[in-house]
Structure 1
Amino acid sequence: MTTQATAPVLFDLDGTLLDTPRAIVSVIDWVLAESSRPAPPREQVRATVGRPLVAVFGELLNLPHEHAEVEAAVARFRELFRETVVPEAKSMVFPGVPELLEGLRREGRPLAIVTSKIRASAEELLEPAGLTGHFGAIVCHGMAPRGKPHPDLALLAAQRLGRAPEECLVVGDAVDDMRMARAAGMGAIGVSYGVATAGQLLGAGAQVVSETVLALGGALGTLRSLR
């Protein structure tokens, strides 16, 4: 039986470990400003953070995902993000995150990243942030048939960690993280210092919502399962 000391933890990346949502919104705005289409409300832009980029620009440009303009917007976003955000990755790590991850590893808890970023984009952010070595698996968009909020990515992460889904806890700041966790039969812990509010996270299936990294560490230290 899994105990609290060994329960695997699957972390979202943007807005959960790194304070990137504001930068992501700024880069999305930059890309949209270069297009000839009307700018959507900023609230709508922010609500897309954490989703795959094809879905983000498909919605914001009101175009099919396979449209050439969407593909061009995704490519431009990645170019600008790499140039303007990645160099600042180290400073974007939420205070307390390195200590939290180190503590969980000392307890023998397997850790994974589950993100809607593609693998190259996740790695180019994790490495300069100094976080890569904490994770036994990095599971990204495109590595499973369906992305968040479907369970596929979380189930793949559990498989790569060699653990059963029902043993795992998912930590994330977005509604889709919580929905993915519940669909996969995993515990769902929301963090309200990212994109979604506590109410939105609870409404999407979170059983606990932490307002700070310190509170998250406390929750992970006392809970063995949230199924």
Structure 2
Amino acid sequence: MTTAILFDVDGTLVDTPAAMTTVLRTVVAEHGRTAADDRLRATVGRPLAASLAGLLELPTDHPAVVQAADRARELFTQTVIPSAPRLVFPGVPELLAALRERGHPLAVVTSKVRPSAIELLDAAGLLDAFDTLACHGMTERGKPYPDLALLAAAALDTPPADCVVVGDAVDDVRMANAAGMRPIGVSTGVATRAELVLAGARAVYAGPAALGPALLDEPTVRPFDLTPR
């Protein structure tokens, strides 16, 4: 069985955390609130409505939260999407192309809702690299629960034990472990190397270019007993 690779998006494939922090800061300010940048950045990659509910100290289904989430998506489309090709981390297109050439099934597993994920990946020129997308709202529970990862594995017709999850956040690592998959971290996003290792990442790499040689090992990526970097 060829190993399937499941990728997070924000902070893993595309360098969006800083831009998303700016979007969140604007939306929170429009609602008469303030939040430190480290608190704003820590929410990047999590479901938008839940993040804004926490920042605004309101229930997730509160009309103001719904309005704020819509506003954040609007600002993201206006200010970030046009820059998407420049935000792709170095080495990502080459890594995805090499993985596909070697026959690895590829999926995205993200806390973005599907239209937002498609919008970003398409603008970044990455959408066609993936066989399936598992997005927030497509399962009852999102990250860090295993549901989205298992949905992607089923769509790829690959057993969870033959899947690797690559992500920049603690929730990505926890999701992978809960799903019985191998979690690999990249330190390009919201979590530090130490946080990823503590959460259970098998290894942590500086980014896709550094990660590439490990994922491209033959015949598969197992066993993943590399020293975390």
Indicate the percent of aligned positions where both proteins have the same amino acid: 56
Picking from 3, 8, 29, the partner of 2:4 is 8
Deviations, residues 71-129 of structure 1 (Å, cap 9, x unaligned): 11101001111111111111111111000000000100000000000000000111111
From the superposition, tell whether residues 226 and 153 of structure 1 become closer, same or farther in structure 2 (CA, over 3 Å). Answer: farther
Flag structure 1 segments of 5+ consecutive residues without an equivalent. Answer: none
Give the residue type in structure 2 aligned to 1:213.
P
Asked if 1:36 corresponds to 2:32, the answer is yes
Q: Aligned to 1:117, what secondary structure does the other structure show?
A: strand
Measure, in 1, the Cα distance between the counterparts of 2:202 and 2:222: 13
Deviations, residues 10-41 of structure 1 (Å, cap 9, x unaligned): 0000000000110000000010111123x122
Conservation of the 8 A alpha-carbon contact between 2:25 and 2:35 = no
Pairwise CA distance, 1:199: 0.3
Tell me how many residue pairs correspond in the alignment: 222
Question: Could you say which residue in structure 1 is the equivalent of 2:180?
Answer: 185
If the length of structure 1 is used for normalisation, what is the TM-score?
Answer: 0.95
Asked if 1:79 corresponds to 2:79, the answer is no
Deviations, residues 55-80 of structure 1 (Å, cap 9, x unaligned): 11011111111111111110100111
Question: Could you say which residue in structure 2 is the equivalent of 1:90?
Answer: 85
Conservation of the 8 A alpha-carbon contact between 1:178 and 1:204 = yes
Conservation of the 8 A alpha-carbon contact between 1:116 and 1:147 = yes
Pairwise CA distance, 1:42: 1.3
Runs of 4+ aligned residues of structure 1 deviating over 3 Å after TM superposition are none
Measure, in 2, the Cα distance between the counterparts of 1:127 and 1:193: 21
Conservation of the 8 A alpha-carbon contact between 2:17 and 2:189 = yes
Flag structure 2 segments of 5+ consecutive residues without an equivalent. Answer: none
Equivalent residue runs for 1:194-213 within 5 Å: 194-213=189-208
Equivalent residue runs for 1:112-127 within 5 Å: 112-127=107-122
Asked if 1:144 corresponds to 2:139, the answer is yes
Conservation of the 8 A alpha-carbon contact between 1:170 and 1:189 = yes
Pairwise CA distance, 1:214: 1.7
Equivalent residue runs for 1:21-32 within 5 Å: 21-32=17-28
Question: Could you say which residue in structure 2 is the equivalent of 1:224?
Answer: 222
From the superposition, tell whether residues 82 and 71 of structure 1 become closer, same or farther in structure 2 (CA, over 3 Å). Answer: same
Measure, in 2, the Cα distance between the counterparts of 1:36 and 1:16: 31
Measure, in 1, the Cα distance between the counterparts of 2:50 and 2:11: 18
Question: Could you say which residue in structure 1 is the equivalent of 2:98?
Answer: 103
Question: Could you say which residue in structure 2 is the equivalent of 1:167?
Answer: 162
Give the residue type in structure 2 aligned to 1:121.
S
